[in-house]
């Protein structure tokens, strides 16, 4: 349905996004996650044909967005970051205009407008001027605009931005319910939000697509293995020998030596078990440990580290392992994929 | 496209712009009719229209200023970009809506000569040919105003800029009397005009090669012609400026003459400005 190929956009020769490729073929909620300025809006503007890419192509339902814009745009409902509303119209007038522009048949316009107003809960304000509506209602008028003409794809740029908690919950519920029979692509810079409502997550930072996978896997990907750090008076060779003898720890790294004290860190799946084993191994060899620390990161910290610590994008080995679906999970994970051949089935 | 026209008209006549434009134009048509036809006793409606044509300087910018600038300001241009409608459709739709808003008072003015007929003899043919030209003049100015509106997101700037451009076309013919008529001065001024066109081209397209070509071409062609026959350049710049004046073209209809060349000129101005308006909008998508 959506096929994005090597998108690149430069503003006066400075790239703001590059090498963005993904394919979406199944209905569901797809979250674009990334800090502000990561290139989410730019990518969405290109997908919807509001902005031309410097390089790369976008295909919507087999129609190239530049070559056959009208066919492609008929399949998309788009809500930009700032809802594009005519302030001097009422929601009903506004929606009628958009429905007609999307090519909805004359006798169906009224029904469709009515239905989208009911779905988004704006029926009570349908005859008030949009400029007099609250921000939450304006946002909902914007969302109901995307439903007109029954587009298969709905793209929402930060749909919950600037709303109060109750409104946020309502919009999230709406997005989730729409995801059952649409492809919903929405962006957010809040990780919990993306995690809460999306089936699939794509993390964008510094204009690159870092991760693309199922929401459950996001946590597994972000929550890297726990890291343990030790300091000991044992010399490097002996300590490494001891550490290698302990089962269940990996990636043993020597961090340096200062005044006879050596420092190491390593990862373990079971951090408590590993800590005990290391302690017992050193004790058994009559070696002392000066310190043994757990280094744990919250999901949020891990996300921040992933997205902000990058000056240039270096492919992470774990990222690629995520992009390749496990054989058993093939059917589901394939829907979002960094490689096009994975996206075709399902 | 009908949908765009409907939306625009809805916006014009929901707010005060459409009514304000029509009311002021009609009010002045009334005042001028009383003054020219009744008090001064001129037996021709074309004199009335000729005299009041300068009202366009203020009224057309009011009609066109918000057409595109407001879409940019409210970010609704993003909606238009994402809808399955093409840019020419949007621009032509908006333009036709402006023409309808202009046509309504013009049609009402069309009844004035009939009323005047009751009180004396006047040439209806001359009156209606002139009224048609009056409408065409307004339509050409509206096309320019629409283009100016696509350059900024500030209505007031769009209105001011349109007013300045219209003023230039209004006084253009008078200004030519003060321009130096020598061949050298004309050559220099025409080259300067070429450079200005190149700079505008560069500002619109950011294409430095095209701009350089325009400069190079205008300099070589102009100096070549100048070397061959300097006499042609005498007063040429003044003629050039004079030919840009839309109002001057309109005055050609004053005696009720159907001036085909002027009609073609007006239509070319309309097509040209609608074309560059479409480009000015498309450019934003590419930059």
Comparing CB atoms, the residue among A52, A88, A102 nearest residue B84 is A102
Instruction: Answer yes or no: do B68 and B163 share one domain.
Output: yes
CB atoms within 10 A of CB A258: 9
Q: What domain range is B133 assigned to? A: 2-175+245-286
Instruction: Answer yes or no: do B12 and B86 share one domain.
Output: yes
Q: Is B208 on the interface with A (CB under 8 A)?
A: no
Q: Which of A49, A50, A127, A185 to mutate to test the interface with B (most CBs of B within 10 A)?
A: A50
Instruction: Answer yes or no: do B54 and B8 share one domain.
Output: yes
Instruction: Answer yes or no: do B169 and B96 share one domain.
Output: yes
**Using CA atoms, how far apart are residues A10 and A41, in angstroms rounded to an integer?**
14
Instruction: Answer yes or no: do B122 and B217 share one domain.
Output: no
Residue A148 near residue A96 (C-beta atoms within 8 A): no
Instruction: Answer yes or no: do B250 and B162 share one domain.
Output: yes
Instruction: Answer yes or no: do B101 and B23 share one domain.
Output: yes
Comparing CB atoms, the residue among B6, B285, B287 nearest residue A50 is B285
**Using CA atoms, how far apart are residues A177 and A184, in angstroms rounded to an integer?**
10
**Using CA atoms, how far apart are residues B218 and B215, in angstroms rounded to an integer?**
5
Q: What is the pTM of this model?
A: 0.79
Q: Check residue A92 and give its pLDDT.
A: 93
pLDDT digits (tens, 9 = 90+) for A157-172: 988 877 888 888 888 8
From first CA to last CA, the distance across chain B in angstroms is 26
- B90 - beta bridge partners? none
**How far are the Cα atoms of A88, A94, A103, B18, B70 from residue B11, in angstroms, in the given order?**
7, 11, 21, 8, 11
Q: Check residue A35 and give its pLDDT.
A: 84
**Using CA atoms, how far apart are residues A100 and A106, in angstroms rounded to an integer?**
7
Nearest-CA distance from A74 to chain B in Å?
6
**Structural domains in chain B (count):** 2
Instruction: Answer yes or no: do B65 and B201 share one domain.
Output: no
Last residue of a domain, one of B196, B215, B234: B234
pLDDT digits (tens, 9 = 90+) for A105-120: 889 999 999 999 998 8
- The verdict on residue B133 lying in a domain is yes
pLDDT digits (tens, 9 = 90+) for B121-160: 888 888 888 899 999 999 999 999 999 999 888 999 999 9
Q: Check residue A328 and give its pLDDT.
A: 41
* Interchain proximity A98–B11, CB inside 8 Å: no
- The verdict on residue B240 lying in a domain is no
- The verdict on residue B239 lying in a domain is no
Within 8 A of A70 by CB-CB distance, chain B residues are: 84-86
**Using CA atoms, how far apart are residues A329 and A334, in angstroms rounded to an integer?**
8
Instruction: Answer yes or no: do B12 and B69 share one domain.
Output: yes
Mean pLDDT lowest for which of A52-66, A185-199, A286-300, B67-81?
A: A286-300
Q: Check residue A339 and give its pLDDT.
A: 41
Last residue of a domain, one of B214, B234, B254: B234
Place of tokens 């997550």: A201
What integer best gives the mean pLDDT of chain A?
81
Instruction: Answer yes or no: do B164 and B38 share one domain.
Output: yes
Instruction: Answer yes or no: do B206 and B282 share one domain.
Output: no
Place of tokens 């239905």: A115
User: Of all residues in chain A, what percent carry a pLDDT higher than 90?
Assistant: 16
Q: Is B243 on the interface with A (CB under 8 A)?
A: no
pLDDT at A332 over 50: no
pLDDT digits (tens, 9 = 90+) for A197-230: 888 888 888 888 888 888 777 777 776 677 888 8
pLDDT at A324 over 60: no
Query: Within B35-86, where are the H helices?
Result: 45-52, 56-64, 66-73, 77-82
ipTM for the complex shown: 0.81
* Interchain proximity B11–A89, CB inside 8 Å: yes
- A8 - beta bridge partners? A55
Residue A266: CA count within 13 A, CB half-sphere: 27
Res. A33 pLDDT band, cuts 50 70 90: confident
Q: Check residue A334 and give its pLDDT.
A: 41
| Closest-approach residue (CA) in chain A for B12 | A88
pLDDT at A70 over 50: yes
Instruction: Answer yes or no: do B164 and B185 share one domain.
Output: no
- The verdict on residue B198 lying in a domain is yes
Q: Check residue A335 and give its pLDDT.
A: 44
- The verdict on residue B138 lying in a domain is yes
Does residue A13 sit in helix, strand or coil? coil
- The verdict on residue B77 lying in a domain is yes
Residue B246 near residue B173 (C-beta atoms within 8 A): no
Max Cα-Cα span within chain A: 87
**Using CA atoms, how far apart are residues B187 and B231, in angstroms rounded to an integer?**
11
Mark the ranges of chain B whose per-residue pLDDT is less than 70.
Answer: 173, 204-205, 256, 287
Overall average pLDDT of the A137-149 stretch = 90
Q: Is A51 on the interface with B (CB under 8 A)?
A: yes
Q: Which of B5, B77, B78, B286 to mutate to test the interface with A (most CBs of A within 10 A)?
A: B78
Q: Is A21 exposed, middle or buried (0-12, 13-18, 19+ CB in 10 A)?
A: middle
């Amino acid at each position: 349905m959506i096929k994005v190929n090597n998108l690149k956009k430069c503003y006066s020769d400075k790239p703001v996004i590059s090498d963005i490729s993904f394919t979406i073929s199944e209905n569901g909620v797809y979250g674009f996650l990334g800090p502000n300025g990561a290139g989410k809006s730019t990518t969405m503007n290109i997908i919807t044909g509001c902005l031309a890419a410097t390089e790369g192509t976008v295909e919507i339902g087999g129609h190239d967005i530049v070559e056959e814009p009208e066919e492609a745009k008929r399949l998309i409902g788009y809500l930009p970051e700032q809802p594009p509303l005519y302030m001097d119209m009422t929601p009903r007038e506004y929606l009628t205009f958009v429905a007609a522009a999307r090519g909805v048949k004359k006798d169906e316009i009224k029904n469709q407008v009515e239905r989208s107003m009911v779905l988004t809960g704006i029926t009570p304000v349908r005859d008030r001027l949009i400029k007099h509506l609250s921000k939450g209602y304006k946002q909902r008028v914007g969302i109901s605009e995307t439903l007109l003409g029954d587009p298969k794809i709905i793209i929402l740029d930060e749909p919950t931005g600037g709303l109060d908690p109750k409104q946020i919950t309502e919009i999230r519920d709406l997005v989730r319910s729409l995801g059952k029979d649409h492809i919903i692509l929405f962006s957010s810079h809040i990780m919990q939000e993306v995690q809460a409502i999306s089936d699939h997550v794509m993390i964008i930072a510094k204009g690159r697509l870092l991760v693309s996978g199922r929401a459950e896997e996001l946590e597994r990907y972000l929550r890297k293995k726990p890291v343990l750090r030790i300091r000991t008076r044992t010399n490097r060779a002996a300590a490494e020998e001891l550490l290698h003898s302990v089962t269940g720890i990996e990636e043993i790294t020597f961090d340096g030596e200062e005044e006879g004290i050596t420092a190491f860190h390593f990862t373990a799946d079971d951090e408590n078990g590993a800590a005990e084993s290391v302690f017992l191994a050193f004790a058994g060899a009559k070696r002392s440990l000066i310190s043994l620390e757990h280094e744990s990161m919250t999901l949020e910290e891990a996300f921040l580290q992933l997205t902000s610590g990058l000056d240039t994008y270096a492919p992470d080995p774990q990222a690629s392992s995520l992009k390749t679906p496990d054989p058993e999970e093939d059917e589901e994970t394939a829907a979002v994929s960094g490689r096009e051949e994975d996206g075709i089935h399902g | 496209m009908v949908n765009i026209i409907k939306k625009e008209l809805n916006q014009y006549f929901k707010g005060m712009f459409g009514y304000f434009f029509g009311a002021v134009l009609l009010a002045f048509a009334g005042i001028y009719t009383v003054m020219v036809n009744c008090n001064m006793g001129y037996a021709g409606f074309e004199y009335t229209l000729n005299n009041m044509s300068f009202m366009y300087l203020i009224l057309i910018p009011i009609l066109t200023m918000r057409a595109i600038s407001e879409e940019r300001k409210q970010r609704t241009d993003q909606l238009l970009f994402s809808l399955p409608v093409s840019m020419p459709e949007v621009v032509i739709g908006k333009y036709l809506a402006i023409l309808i808003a202009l046509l309504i008072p013009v049609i009402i003015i069309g009844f004035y000569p009939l009323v005047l007929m009751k009180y004396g003899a006047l040439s209806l043919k001359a009156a209606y040919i002139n009224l048609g030209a009056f409408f065409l003049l307004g339509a050409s100015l509206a096309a320019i105003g629409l283009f100016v509106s696509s350059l900024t997101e500030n209505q007031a700037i769009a209105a001011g800029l349109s007013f300045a451009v219209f003023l230039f076309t209004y006084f253009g013919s008078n200004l030519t009397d003060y321009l130096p008529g020598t061949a050298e001065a004309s050559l220099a001024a025409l080259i300067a005009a070429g450079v200005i066109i190149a700079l505008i081209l560069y500002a619109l397209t950011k294409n430095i090669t095209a701009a350089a070509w325009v400069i190079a071409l205008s300099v070589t062609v102009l100096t070549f012609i100048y070397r061959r026959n300097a006499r042609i350049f005498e007063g040429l710049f003044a003629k050039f400026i004079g030919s840009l004046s839309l109002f001057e073209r309109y005055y050609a209809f004053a005696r009720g003459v159907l001036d085909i060349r002027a009609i073609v000129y007006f239509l070319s101005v309309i097509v040209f400005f609608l074309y560059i308006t479409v480009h000015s909008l498309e450019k934003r998508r590419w930059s």
